[in-house]
């Protein structure tokens, strides 16, 4: 399979098969220099990546600022940027330590405040535009509204619709780690896209129960993140993490079985993990985080690497994938 580009069916927003996740250049867990961040974005561009995802949450705005700076000289019509709403960044009187409690190695110059009100959504988009140095956002996602679903549906979503009508954002959606609430957004609203993290992978196909079939039926694009389930499918070994916690023994054993089958076909497990979501016709993009040029180049190379049909067939024969799960050869 070679990287391809899609338009969201309901909007003139072009997204690529491989999306650049910019949490890493927001100093996720460990610091990244400005130069390293710029080189990562440059490498993505050189690899043909034209869809970049960020959020105010990532490094208290650092990810948005760095991404905007790295893209500033690029032709605006050639790329798409998505960011997110739901967390307002408010300055604190004085820097009090770092932000590592929330996962980012940056000074704690701001605090996050959940806000899915109409006013909060508009403020969030306006501040993101300023940090990014852009005049419009291509896709605006409601970010992790799990504990704020009613306000997100009743206030935040209608405001995003108004901003879409105004042309401030090109497409709207929601991004979550749970397929159930995203299914509700697809069913009850006019979202253009959803970002599903960690729930359509070689180890977890819960997104296939309702969300992916409904999205395909309604022409809603699905961006799949977390294809490595936070590390286990990138390097299955004792101590590896599955969904940000140490993997249980049975989960590790399954990942090692997946790896053995892949290696028997001469395919890295990471390549199979990146290709797998494209078995669903609803999936437009796979989003991978990168903090360096080498990581971007690795992901692009793996996605461009052919995966034989026989590999998918053997995974099903061994019970490592359900017999009825769609795999990439089904859509070729």
Conformational region of residue 103, where left means phi above 0, alpha means psi within -120 to 50, and beta covers everything else: left
For residues 196-211, average pLDDT: 98
Predicted model pTM: 0.95
Q: Give the distance from CA 6 to its chain's centroid.
A: 16
> CB-based contacts of 212: which residues, under 8 Å, 6+ apart?
200, 222, 280, 282, 283
Strand partners, 287: 19, 225
Catalytic residue among 51, 58, 79, 141: 58
Domain boundaries, the chain: 14-227+274-306
Q: Would the pLDDT of 173 be above 80?
A: yes
**What CATH number matches the domain at 14-227+274-306, 3.90.25.10, 3.20.10.10, 2.60.120.330, 3.20.20.100?**
3.20.20.100
Mean pLDDT of all residues in 292-299: 97
Gap between the Cα atoms of 332 and 327, Å rounded:
10
Answer whether residue 10 shows pLDDT above 90: no
Residue 29 clears pLDDT 50, i.e. is over it = yes
Residues 100-147 pLDDT 10s: 999 999 999 999 999 999 999 999 999 999 999 999 999 999 999 999
What SS3 class is residue 256? helix
Question: Mutual orientation of helices 211-218 and 179-188 as an angle, nearest 10°?
Answer: 30
- Write out the two tokens for 230: 């936070």
Give the integer Cα–Cα distance in Å for 152 and 10.
21
Listed residue (186, 207, 181) closest to 276, CA to CA:
207
Question: Quick one: DSSP state of residue 265?
Answer: T
Say whether 79 is catalytic: no
What local confidence, expressed as pLDDT, does residue 9 receive?
62
Q: What is the mean pLDDT of the chain?
A: 95
Question: Is there a contact between 98 and 107 (Cβ–Cβ < 8 Å)?
Answer: yes
* pLDDT band (50, 70, 90) for residue 5: low
Are 60 and 104 in contact by the 8 Å Cβ rule? The answer is: yes
């Amino acid at each position: 399979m070679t990287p391809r580009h899609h338009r969201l069916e309901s909007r003139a927003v072009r997204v690529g098969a491989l999306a650049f996740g910019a949490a890493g250049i927001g100093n996720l867990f460990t610091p990244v220099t400005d130069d390293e961040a710029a080189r990562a974005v440059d490498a993505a561009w050189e690899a043909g990546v034209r869809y970049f995802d960020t959020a105010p949450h990532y490094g208290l705005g650092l990810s948005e600022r760095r991404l905007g700076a790295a893209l500033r000289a690029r032709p605006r019509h050639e790329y798409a940027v998505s960011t997110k709403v739901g967390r307002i960044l408010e300055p604190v009187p004085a820097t009090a330590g770092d932000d590592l409690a929330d996962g980012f190695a940056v000074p704690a110059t701001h605090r996050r405040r959940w806000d899915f009100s109409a006013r909060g959504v508009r403020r969030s988009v306006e501040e993101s535009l300023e940090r990014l140095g852009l005049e419009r956002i291509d896709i605006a996602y409601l970010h992790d509204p799990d504990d704020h679903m009613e306000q997100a549906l009743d206030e935040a979503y209608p405001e995003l619709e108004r901003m879409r009508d105004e042309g401030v954002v090109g497409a709207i959606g929601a991004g979550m780690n749970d397929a159930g609430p995203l299914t509700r957004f697809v069913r009850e609203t006019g979202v253009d896209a959803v970002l599903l993290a960690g729930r359509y992978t070689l180890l977890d196909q819960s997104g296939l129960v309702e969300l992916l079939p409904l999205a395909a039926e309604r022409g809603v694009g699905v961006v799949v993140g977390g294809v490595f389930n936070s590390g286990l499918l990138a390097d299955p070994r004792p101590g590896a993490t599955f969904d940000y916690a140490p993997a249980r023994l049975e989960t590790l054993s399954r990942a090692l079985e997946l790896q053995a089958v892949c290696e028997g076909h001469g395919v890295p497990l990471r390549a199979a993990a990146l290709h797998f979501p494209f078995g669903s016709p609803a999936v437009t993009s796979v989003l991978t985080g990168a903090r360096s040029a080498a990581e971007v180049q690795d992901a692009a190379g793996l996605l461009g690497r052919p995966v034989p049909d026989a590999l998918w067939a053997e995974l099903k024969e061994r019970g490592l994938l359900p017999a009825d799960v769609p795999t990439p050869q089904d859509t070729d």
